[in-house]
A and B are shown apart, each in its own frame.
Chain A
C-alpha cells in the first residue's frame, strides 16, 4: 500500500474537520478525494504530508509513519498545496531550479519526468511566476512538485481556478505520470473529474460516504435519471418539486435532473403534468448517471 489511513480524526477547536476517516491507496493508483469545499480534504492532505498531527488514528505514506518517520516522508513525497505556492517574484526557471536544489537534485537529472509538462511553459521560462496565467502556474507548480521524482504525489485541488482546456490537459498529464509508477492522491470539488480517477472517496463534513471505482459508484445508483428542461427553468423546478411522485429534483447544467419514486415511471405522464402547468418547450429524456448524482443522493 502506498498510502494507508486508519481511523484518523482531526478537530480545530470545536469544528470536527476530519471524522474517523480510513482509506488505502495502492501503489501506482490515481486516487481522488471528491467533496465540496470544507469537506476536510485539505486537512487530510496536511496530515498525510506531515504538516498536521491527527488527533486520533494512524497513517502511513510510502511505508513511513506520518508522525514517527516524518523526515523520510518529506524526502519522498511531492506536495502541491491548494493555492499554487510558487515564488511570484522568481521566474519560471528560477522557481523550478530552487525546488530542484532544495530537494538535492537538478532540473537536468529529472528532466525526463517533467518534460511533457515543462515544455509547455518553457517558452516563458524567463517570465516571473506572478505574471503567468492560472493554467501555466498550475503546470509550473506541478513541475516543481515533481522535480525530485517523488514516490507519492499529493495534489490538493490542482484544477481550482484553471480554465477547462488546461484542466483537461492536466488530467491527461496525471494519467501519464501514473504510468511512470507514481502514486497520486488528488482532491477536487469538480465531480466530472472524479470519473478520471482509478478509485475515489466521496467525502463530506469530514466523513467518507463511499469508496469505490467511479464505475461501481455510478452502477449502484438506484434510480433512473431524466434530463428535464423548459423555457422557464426556475418555475420548472418549482413545478417538479410539487409533482406528487418526485423523488429528487436539482439543477444540473442546462437541465434539471429528475428522479421518480416509482419504478414504472412513464415520462409521458410528467410531460402532461408540466404542459398542464403552462410550461413551454418541454423536453424530457433519460440520461446517464454521473458521480454528482450519486453525491447528491448520498448527501440527501
Chain B
C-alpha cells in the first residue's frame, strides 16, 4: 500500500509541475463552458434588419413599430428602391429586409389581403430560418389584434408550449455536451498521455522491472485523474448554475454518481488507448480523432441524432458520450430519477467493463 501511495504522489508531482497539462485540466473547462455558453448560440438577439416601405401608411408604421419594439430586431436603415436591397445584403449590414407592397393598408381593408415580403440572408440557414419565423410571428400577432372584432369561421388555433427549456436557451443544450466533452478529454486523453509518456521516456522499463504490479501502475495513474475530473465536473456544474441559470431539476447526488461512472468509462478508454500506442503523440492523435470528433459529431451534442442518416444513428449507439448526454439532460433538465435512466446507466457500465477487460488483456507485463 505504501508503494502505491508513493506512486500516486509521484503522479501528482507530474501533473502539478507541467504547466501545459495544468492549463488543459483547469483552463479548458472554464474557457469551453464560457465559450459555448456565450458565443455559440442559436438564439437571435438584436438582429439588424432593413425596411423597404413602399406604402408608408398607418398600418405599415404600426407593424414596423411592433417589430422594432421587440428585443429580437433593430431597424438599421430604411430603403427607398429595389436596387438597394442587394447592396445592403452584400455589404453585410443587415440579415433581413422587410418589403411592404404599395397601398398596403388599402389592399388590406379593401381586398382583405396585403402582402409583405421577408427577404433573409441565408448564408447562415439556421439564423435565416429563425428570423423568418420570428417576423412571421410578430406579424401574425398584429393580424390577430386587428381581427379581434370579426371572427372567422372554422379557425384552427395551434398553441404550443416548450417544456424543460421554455425559453429555448441554447446553453441548456450545450452544458451537458460540454461537460461530457471535458470529462472525456481530461480523463481519456490525459491518462493515455501520462501512461505513454512513461513508455517514451523509458521509465516504464524500470517500473516493469520492479515489484509494482501492473494493475497498481494503472490504478495509480488513474486515481489522480479521477480526482481532477470530479473537480472539473463540479466547476462546470457550478458555472452553469450560477452564470447560465441552468437548472438541476433532479438529484445532485445522482448527478454526481453518474458523472463518476462516466469518468471511469473515459479513463478505461484512456487506458485502452495507452496500451495500443507507443508514443504520447499517437495517444493524443487517437484521443482527439478517435474520441473527440465522434463525441462532438455523433453524440447528439450539436446535431440531433434523430435527424441523422440511419447508419450514423446506429453508430452513435457505441459512443459512450451519447448515453451520458441523455443521462445529464434527464437529470438536469427533466429532473428524472434513477428509474428513468437505468438503461443508459447500464449501457455505460457495460462499456466500462468491456474497455477494462480489453485493456487488461492488452496490457503488457513485458516490452513486447
Interface residues of A (CB under 8 A from B): 46, 49-53, 70-71, 74-75, 77, 79, 81-83, 85-90, 94, 97-99, 101-104, 144
CB atoms of A102 and B13 under 8 A apart: no
B13, A101: Cβ atoms closer than 8 Å:
no
Among A46, A102, A103, residue most surrounded by chain B Cβ atoms (within 10 Å): A102
Which residues from B are CB-within-8-Å of A87?
A: 10, 13-14, 201, 203
Q: Which of A46, A50, A51, A85 contacts B201 (CB 8 A)?
A: A85
Q: Are A53 and B211 in touch, CB under 8 angstroms? A: no
Which 5 residue pairs of A and B lie closest in terms of their CB atoms, listed nearest first?
A101-B6, A85-B202, A51-B367, A79-B209, A85-B203
The answer to whether A101 and B3 have CB atoms under 8 Å apart is: yes
- Shortest Cβ gap from A91 to chain B (Å): 9
Kindly list chain A residues whose C-beta atoms are within 8 Å of the C-beta of B6: 97-98, 101-102
In the complex, A244→B13 CA distance in Å? Answer: 67
Q: Chain B residues with Cβ under 8 A from A97's Cβ?
A: 6
Q: Given A89-B14, A104-B2, A81 and B210 touching (CB < 8 A)?
A: no
A74 lies within 8 A of B209 (CB): yes
Instruction: Jot down 11 A-B pairs with beta carbons below 8 A, ordered by A.
Output: A46-B367, A49-B209, A51-B209, A52-B368, A77-B209, A85-B206, A89-B17, A101-B2, A102-B207, A103-B3, A103-B210
CB distance from B80 to the nearest CB of A (A): 69
Chain B interface mostly: helix
Question: Are the CB atoms of A50 and B202 closer together than 8 Å?
Answer: no
Q: Which residues of B in the span 187-212 have a Cβ within 8 Å of any Cβ on A? A: 201-203, 205-212
Q: Contact at A94–B10, with CB atoms within 8 Å?
A: yes
Query: Does B366 have its Cβ within 8 Å of any Cβ on chain A?
Result: yes
- Report if A81-B206 is in contact (Cβ < 8 Å); known contacts: A90-B13, A104-B211: yes
B205: contacting residue among A81, A98, A102, CB under 8 A: A81
CB neighbours of B368 from chain A (8 A): 52-53
Residue B72 is within 8 A (CB to CB) of chain A in the complex: no
Chain A residues, Cβ within 8 Å of B2: 101, 104
Q: How far is the CA of A70 from the CA of B365 in the complex (A)?
A: 10
Taken together as a complex, chains A and B put the C-alpha atoms of A83 and B198 apart, in Å, by: 13
Most B CB contacts (10 A, CB to CB) among A53, A70, A101 go to: A101
Whether B209 pairs with A103 at a CB distance below 8 angstroms is no
Residue B82 is within 8 A (CB to CB) of chain A in the complex: no
Docked-complex contact B367 and A52, CB < 8 angstroms: yes
Which of B5, B13, B206, B211 is in CB contact (< 8 Å) with A89?
Answer: B13
Cross-chain contact A90 with B10 (CB below 8 angstroms): yes
Is B89 an interface residue, CB under 8 A from the partner? no
Residues 203-262 (chain B) with a chain A CB within 8 angstroms: 203, 205-212
Whether A102 touches B3, Cβ cut-off 8 Å, given contacts A51-B209, A81-B205, is yes
With A81-B206, A89-B14 known, 5 other A-B pairs at CB within 8 A are A51-B208, A90-B10, A102-B210, A102-B211, A144-B206
A88 / chain B contacts, CB cutoff of 8 Å = 201
